[in-house]
Homo-oligomer: A and B are copies of this chain.
Amino acid sequence: MNKPFPVPQGSAAQRIEAELRRAIVALDLPPGTRLSEQEIAGRHGMSRQPVREAMIALARARLVEILPQRGTVVVKISARKMMEARFIREAIETAVVRRACSSFDRQSRQRIDDLLGMQEDAARRDDHTGFQRYDEMFHVTLAEGAGCPLAWDTVQDIKAHMDRVCQLSLPGANAMLPLIAQHKAIVAAIDAQDEAKAEEAMRFHLTEILRALPRIEAEHPELFE
A158 to B96, CA, bound (A): 16
Q: Mark A143-160, 1 if CB is under 8 A from B, else 0.
A: 000011111001001100
CB distance from A62 to the nearest CB of B (A): 9
- Residue A87 CB within 8 A of the other chain: yes
Contact of A60 among B13, B57, B91, B148 (CB under 8 A): B57
- Residue A81 CB within 8 A of the other chain: yes
- Residue A88 CB within 8 A of the other chain: yes
Which residues, 12 to 60 on A, are CB-close (under 8 Å) to B? 13, 52-53, 56-57, 60
CB distance from A11 to the nearest CB of B (A): 7
A60 to B58, CA, bound (A): 11
A13 to B130, CA, bound (A): 38
- Residue A223 CB within 8 A of the other chain: no
Contact of A84 among B11, B68, B151 (CB under 8 A): B151
A154-B154, A154-B158 known; A88 vs B53 contact (CB < 8 Å):
no
Q: Mark A84-95, 1 if CB is under 8 A from B, else 0.
A: 110110111011
A11-B68, A68-B11 known; A154 vs B56 contact (CB < 8 Å):
no
Which residues of the partner chain B approach A92 to less than 8 Å between Cβ atoms?
Answer: 88, 91-92
A52 to B49, CA, bound (A): 11
Contact B57 A88, beta carbon cutoff 8 Å: no
Which residues of the partner chain B approach A151 to less than 8 Å between Cβ atoms?
Answer: 84, 87-88
- Which 10 A-B residue pairs are closest in the complex by CB-CB distance? A91-B95, A84-B150, A91-B91, A91-B92, A84-B148, A88-B151, A88-B154, A154-B158, A88-B92, A53-B56
